[in-house]
Chain A
Amino acid sequence: MAMDRRAFLRATTLVGGGMLLGLYGSAPSLTDASAAPEPDPAAAPQQGGGQRPQQQGPPPLSPHAFIRIAPDGTVTIMARSPEVGQGVKTMLPMLIAEELDIDWKAVRIEQADLDSKYGVQFAGGSFATPSSWEPLRRVGATARHLLIAAAAQTWGVPEAECTTEPGRVLHRASNRSLGYGELAAKAAELPLPDPAQVRFKDPKDYTIIGHAKPGVDVRDIVTGKAVYGIDMELPGMLHAVYHKCPVFGGKIVSANLDEIKALPGVRHVFTLEGAEVTGNVLPGDPGLEAGIAIVADTWWAAHSARQKLKVTWDEGRWAQQSSEEFARRARELSGQAPARTLISMGDPDAALKSAAKVVEASYSYPFIAHAPLEPQNCTAHFHDGRMEIWTTSQTPGSGRGMVARALNIPEENITLHLLRAGGGFGRRLTNDYMVEAAAIAKTVGVPVKLLWTREDDMAHDYYRPGGFQYLSAGLDASGNLVAWRNHFISYGEGERFASSAAMQPGEFPARYVPNFALHASVMPLGLRTGALRAPGSNAYAFVIQSFLDELAHAAGKDPVAFRRELLAATPVAAPGGGGGRGGLNPARMRAVLDLVVEKSGWDARRKALPKGTGLGVAFHYSHQGYFAQVAEVSVNAEKAVRVHKVWVAGDVGSHIINPVAAESMVHGSVIDGLSELMAQEITLEKGRVVQTNYHEHRMVSLAQAPPVIEVHFLKSDNPPTGLGEPALPPILPAVGNALFAATGQRVRDLPLAKHGYTWA
């Protein structure tokens, strides 16, 4: 879609006609400005649930920033967070609209730019719901309060006598009413109320929250009109590609730049120097990497010219890395004393010695790429000392900071517009492509869109870290789990883990086994790693819940019964409090386990299964969400696997804000997890990533997906929490355990394809 630049700005800024309840600056002290920091992209998603930056402290967000009411009653609500497919552009405005008391059909939604008046603008860590549930409902309730106050003043009646119905304030006693549009001008003049006075709806009166609302962009999507990052166009815009060394940290020695400059359509060719990275583990978002920018009239011209590039690289110190060597080194480390102990409770070594039965197993999982369907891209325009950026970043605030530091532009001179993203999954938590686009734009001085190829994306991701776990567990004579010891081998240096490569000491079953130890050793890594949807959990749930299954088998117990016994143990206090995923509440977990057992008919079904078909169960707690899953899986002699049905039970609190999107999110989590389980693996040879495109890093297709995924939410008396991630981790072990039930074969080393499995 060709877009006139000014039209675009008009459409995405708040300045414009009819803005009545939108006089920001009218109460500057009441915006939460810098007081609500964006969660640290590297740390936040990794911490799982309990340790998020809390919204306590900052004053409430101002409704003036979020709501615009025109004289005709049209209500526009700003969607504050980046939309990457998780549905927040619909879901967050629903919270405001509910408390404002307005007919959802009368609401227009606009995507907000990056601005501190919106508070947290971040997409990750299943953070949108917990960070917005109270603050955004408060925005709506405060606006409603102001509209009631304006009506009461107009009529000279007490506010307490006034109520609302969608879009109108009523005074029943005198049978009068005024529309929000008629009251907005007056409401905008009133001081914001004391937060304590603002009243929220009784949840039983909700008409929007808990009711299915289709995505606000769905019509634009199905007609091809939705504007994604890749669709951004500005007058006079040029197209860029950026060629980097296939080995991280490589530097350009020489290149045939003059030859490239002469190619058709090419306007600029230049090299950019990368930020210096030292140490044996890379920082979360290391900044600009060295590379060659080719800027041309069309992307195809730039891309074609790139094929003619001849570059001599100094590949640097990571050029000998390989996956094979990592695996060899991990085996070696597993035979040595661990470098350090992350947690130890009781006396695991002694308990293992005296146990009636000891089970040992080693598990491993590979690096994985995010590979969202829309390749990385960013549009930037540098003019008059100011940088303007159009981006799909999940962490726009961090991106702006990184651009400011890398290019020496004050943050206040950098404007960010947020565009719809074709998937995130954590890939867009880092802003490497943003800083590249900005650096190129600063050099060429005209608008420029940088677009990576799929191959660039696969070779330059922030990969889900692979890892190795060497486990020993002890059972007593009655088959109770009495000891658990894990030597976790990951990537890092000294006490530092690579990004997303740590394991939380309190991770289940830490507090449920009397003798428990988690030891760790690390290996240096010259590869960027980061958070992939349900970071940590997406690998650790597979290890923990598969090993628990092995133990149930060794104890001669039903996998469900064994897990129930474990959850019934009184959790011992963990040193350090067991925060994050260690904060698992056993009663909530037990409840979802019971629910999934009931819905799947576990006992009866297990007995009735034909040969070659198995039922597997698993649960996991992450991002404050409780999920248990059962999978029915068959496998034939050729190792062709079919997942016939998956039952999911989840507890993410008291409300499922948008049920249609929630169910879809759970389906997607299950299918995503199946892709990771079966086929996805990034390997390194000679320091470079071997896989180049989707044919070598496969995702599940329509025909391979389970035909039925049954989703059951258990509504508990807890504040609502996020759903982007916690439904994913249990599917990997649930299917792995079902495969074991079907065949007696246990796969401990992912992905399954490495062991000859395929989808049926």
Chain B
Amino acid sequence: MAYKLTVNGRPATVEAPADMPLLWALRDVLHLHGTKYGCGIGMCGACTVHLNGEPARSCQVTIADAANASVVTIEGLSPDGTHPLQMAWQEVDVPQCGYCQAGQIMSAAALLKKTPRPTDAQIDEALDGNLCRCGTYLSIRRAIHKAAEAAAAGQKG
């Protein structure tokens, strides 16, 4: 079957069986490798993308279910890689292996959209399903606060 959807603002067609998870459609059909496979059962968050604006585990969404949807991946989070989270992540030097970080950033971006100045508790809740095997959590929390501050300052300025 051919499924049409919008990926990072551009139309895309995926020729795939209906049960192929969106994760594999992105990675192996559309060659967008930023979205990662960690568990395949919705437990780790490495595959987090935005599906119609909401954070979603792309390993748990079939391509048939994603038909006609708008999908944003880490590659499309910002046109030039300067989303406040991407800047803060570099400033804090969050990643160790980095494998979980696309998922972390996508979950954090969804949080900031709704809650521009999140508390620690709100961050914990929004990112609790994003595991980091390297244990970079304290840096992640710090970078989210930094990004929120930068975004707020940017809006005022």
Q: Taking beta carbons and an 8 Å cutoff, which residues of A are in contact with B? A: 1-2, 84-87, 212, 214-215, 217-219, 221-228, 230-231, 233, 239, 264, 298-301, 304, 371-375, 420-425, 451, 453-454, 660-661, 664-665, 667-672, 693-695, 699-703, 705, 707-709
Taking a contact as CB atoms closer than 8 A, the residue among A222, A224, A668 that contacts B90 in the complex is: A222
Q: B2: CB under 8 A from chain A?
A: no
Whether B81 and A693, one on each chain, are in contact in the complex, defined by CB atoms closer than 8 angstroms, is no
Taking a contact as CB atoms closer than 8 A, the residue among B77, B94, B141 that contacts A702 in the complex is: B141
Taking a contact as CB atoms closer than 8 A, the residue among B28, B75, B95 that contacts A298 in the complex is: B28
Whether B43 and A705, one on each chain, are in contact in the complex, defined by CB atoms closer than 8 angstroms, is no
**A215-B93 contact in complex given A227-B33, A233-B31, A694-B43, C-beta closer than 8 Å:** yes
Q: B58: CB under 8 A from chain A?
A: no
Apart from A373-B97, A374-B38, 4 more pairs, CB < 8 Å: A217-B98, A375-B37, A422-B97, A695-B41
Q: How far is the CA of A227 from the CA of B133 in the complex (A)?
A: 18
CB-defined interface of B8-34 with A at 8 Å, one 1/0 digit per residue?
Answer: 000000001101110010001101111
Taking a contact as CB atoms closer than 8 A, the residue among B34, B85, B93, B95 that contacts A224 in the complex is: B34
Distance between B45 CB and nearest chain A CB, rounded to angstroms? 10
Whether A705 and B135, one on each chain, are in contact in the complex, defined by CB atoms closer than 8 angstroms, is yes
- Which residues of the partner chain B approach A454 to less than 8 Å between Cβ atoms? 38-41
- Which residues of the partner chain A approach B146 to less than 8 Å between Cβ atoms? none
Q: How far is the CA of A547 from the CA of B100 in the complex (A)?
A: 37
Whether B97 and A223, one on each chain, are in contact in the complex, defined by CB atoms closer than 8 angstroms, is no
Q: B66: CB under 8 A from chain A?
A: no
Taking a contact as CB atoms closer than 8 A, the residue among A372, A453, A671, A693 that contacts B135 in the complex is: A671
CB-defined interface of B64-106 with A at 8 Å, one 1/0 digit per residue?
Answer: 0000000001110100010001100111011111111110010
Q: B46: CB under 8 A from chain A?
A: yes
Distance between A333 CB and nearest chain B CB, rounded to angstroms? 35
A-B CB contact pairs (8 Å), 28 listed: A2-B31, A85-B134, A87-B96, A223-B81, A224-B33, A226-B98, A300-B24, A300-B28, A301-B17, A304-B19, A373-B132, A373-B134, A374-B97, A422-B98, A423-B96, A423-B133, A425-B133, A664-B96, A664-B136, A667-B136, A668-B134, A668-B135, A671-B137, A672-B133, A693-B41, A700-B137, A702-B130, A702-B140
Whether B93 and A660, one on each chain, are in contact in the complex, defined by CB atoms closer than 8 angstroms, is yes
Q: B127: CB under 8 A from chain A?
A: yes
By beta carbon, the residue of chain A nearest B32 is A224
CB-defined interface of B111-124 with A at 8 Å, one 1/0 digit per residue?
Answer: 00000000010011
By beta carbon, the residue of chain A nearest B127 is A702
Q: How far is the CA of A400 from the CA of B109 in the complex (A)?
A: 42
By beta carbon, the residue of chain A nearest B20 is A300
Whether A453 and B90, one on each chain, are in contact in the complex, defined by CB atoms closer than 8 angstroms, is no
**A664-B93 contact in complex given A224-B33, A702-B137, C-beta closer than 8 Å:** yes
**A702-B39 contact in complex given A374-B99, A672-B135, C-beta closer than 8 Å:** no
- Which residues of the partner chain A approach B89 to less than 8 Å between Cβ atoms? 218, 221-222
- Which residues of the partner chain A approach B101 to less than 8 Å between Cβ atoms? 221-222
- Which residues of the partner chain A approach B127 to less than 8 Å between Cβ atoms? 702
Q: How far is the CA of A2 from the CA of B105 in the complex (A)?
A: 23
- Which residues of the partner chain A approach B137 to less than 8 Å between Cβ atoms? 667, 671, 700-702, 705
Q: How far is the CA of A371 from the CA of B43 in the complex (A)?
A: 13
- Which residues of the partner chain B approach A222 to less than 8 Å between Cβ atoms? 74, 81, 85-86, 89-90, 94-95, 101-102, 105
Whether B96 and A373, one on each chain, are in contact in the complex, defined by CB atoms closer than 8 angstroms, is no
**A223-B75 contact in complex given A300-B21, A422-B99, A693-B43, C-beta closer than 8 Å:** yes
- Which residues of the partner chain A approach B31 to less than 8 Å between Cβ atoms? 1-2, 233
Distance between A580 CB and nearest chain B CB, rounded to angstroms? 26
Q: How far is the CA of A664 from the CA of B41 in the complex (A)?
A: 28
Whether A298 and B133, one on each chain, are in contact in the complex, defined by CB atoms closer than 8 angstroms, is no
Q: B44: CB under 8 A from chain A?
A: yes
- Which residues of the partner chain A approach B128 to less than 8 Å between Cβ atoms? 701-703
Taking a contact as CB atoms closer than 8 A, the residue among A2, A84, A451 that contacts B97 in the complex is: A84
Q: How far is the CA of A608 from the CA of B97 in the complex (A)?
A: 40
Whether A223 and B34, one on each chain, are in contact in the complex, defined by CB atoms closer than 8 angstroms, is yes
Whether B135 and A85, one on each chain, are in contact in the complex, defined by CB atoms closer than 8 angstroms, is no
**A421-B33 contact in complex given A224-B75, A299-B28, C-beta closer than 8 Å:** no
Q: Taking beta carbons and an 8 Å cutoff, which residues of B are in contact with A? A: 16-17, 19-21, 24, 28-29, 31-41, 43-44, 46, 73-75, 77, 81, 85-86, 89-91, 93-102, 105, 120, 123-125, 127-141
By beta carbon, the residue of chain B nearest A454 is B39
Whether A223 and B86, one on each chain, are in contact in the complex, defined by CB atoms closer than 8 angstroms, is yes
- Which residues of the partner chain B approach A424 to less than 8 Å between Cβ atoms? 97
- Which residues of the partner chain A approach B135 to less than 8 Å between Cβ atoms? 667-672, 700, 705
Distance between B104 CB and nearest chain A CB, rounded to angstroms? 9
Distance between B111 CB and nearest chain A CB, rounded to angstroms? 12
Q: How far is the CA of A665 from the CA of B96 in the complex (A)?
A: 8
Q: How far is the CA of A226 from the CA of B35 in the complex (A)?
A: 11
Q: How far is the CA of A410 from the CA of B91 in the complex (A)?
A: 46
**A702-B98 contact in complex given A664-B139, A694-B43, C-beta closer than 8 Å:** no
Taking a contact as CB atoms closer than 8 A, the residue among B73, B94, B97, B123 that contacts A372 in the complex is: B97
Q: How far is the CA of A374 from the CA of B103 in the complex (A)?
A: 13
- Which residues of the partner chain A approach B16 to less than 8 Å between Cβ atoms? 298, 300
The 6 closest A-B pairs by CB, nearest first: A224-B34, A85-B97, A422-B99, A671-B135, A668-B135, A224-B74
The residue among A223, A424, A693 with the most chain B CB atoms within 10 A of its own CB is: A223
Whether B124 and A702, one on each chain, are in contact in the complex, defined by CB atoms closer than 8 angstroms, is yes
The residue among A86, A225, A373, A671 with the most chain B CB atoms within 10 A of its own CB is: A373
- Which residues of the partner chain A approach B100 to less than 8 Å between Cβ atoms? 373, 422
- Which residues of the partner chain B approach A85 to less than 8 Å between Cβ atoms? 95-99, 134
- Which residues of the partner chain B approach A84 to less than 8 Å between Cβ atoms? 97
Whether B134 and A218, one on each chain, are in contact in the complex, defined by CB atoms closer than 8 angstroms, is no
Q: How far is the CA of A178 from the CA of B46 in the complex (A)?
A: 49
**A1-B98 contact in complex given A672-B135, A695-B43, C-beta closer than 8 Å:** no
Distance between A668 CB and nearest chain B CB, rounded to angstroms? 4
Whether A230 and B36, one on each chain, are in contact in the complex, defined by CB atoms closer than 8 angstroms, is yes
Distance between B7 CB and nearest chain A CB, rounded to angstroms? 12
- Which residues of the partner chain B approach A86 to less than 8 Å between Cβ atoms? 96
The residue among A226, A264, A299, A300 with the most chain B CB atoms within 10 A of its own CB is: A300
- Which residues of the partner chain A approach B81 to less than 8 Å between Cβ atoms? 219, 222-223
- Which residues of the partner chain B approach A223 to less than 8 Å between Cβ atoms? 34, 74-75, 77, 81, 86
Whether B134 and A423, one on each chain, are in contact in the complex, defined by CB atoms closer than 8 angstroms, is yes
Distance between B54 CB and nearest chain A CB, rounded to angstroms? 19
Whether B97 and A421, one on each chain, are in contact in the complex, defined by CB atoms closer than 8 angstroms, is yes
Whether B20 and A423, one on each chain, are in contact in the complex, defined by CB atoms closer than 8 angstroms, is no
By beta carbon, the residue of chain A nearest B106 is A224
Distance between A371 CB and nearest chain B CB, rounded to angstroms? 7
Distance between B55 CB and nearest chain A CB, rounded to angstroms? 15
The residue among A224, A227, A699, A708 with the most chain B CB atoms within 10 A of its own CB is: A224
Q: How far is the CA of A230 from the CA of B31 in the complex (A)?
A: 12
By beta carbon, the residue of chain B nearest A675 is B135
Whether A423 and B40, one on each chain, are in contact in the complex, defined by CB atoms closer than 8 angstroms, is no
Distance between B112 CB and nearest chain A CB, rounded to angstroms? 15
By beta carbon, the residue of chain B nearest A425 is B133
Distance between B74 CB and nearest chain A CB, rounded to angstroms? 4
Q: How far is the CA of A177 from the CA of B71 in the complex (A)?
A: 55
Distance between B43 CB and nearest chain A CB, rounded to angstroms? 4
Whether B138 and A373, one on each chain, are in contact in the complex, defined by CB atoms closer than 8 angstroms, is no
Distance between A254 CB and nearest chain B CB, rounded to angstroms? 28
Whether B138 and A667, one on each chain, are in contact in the complex, defined by CB atoms closer than 8 angstroms, is yes
- Which residues of the partner chain B approach A709 to less than 8 Å between Cβ atoms? 138
- Which residues of the partner chain A approach B96 to less than 8 Å between Cβ atoms? 85-87, 423, 661, 664-665, 668
Whether A705 and B133, one on each chain, are in contact in the complex, defined by CB atoms closer than 8 angstroms, is no
Q: How far is the CA of A298 from the CA of B85 in the complex (A)?
A: 33
Q: How far is the CA of A660 from the CA of B142 in the complex (A)?
A: 13
By beta carbon, the residue of chain A nearest B78 is A223
Q: How far is the CA of A743 from the CA of B52 in the complex (A)?
A: 49
- Which residues of the partner chain A approach B34 to less than 8 Å between Cβ atoms? 223-225
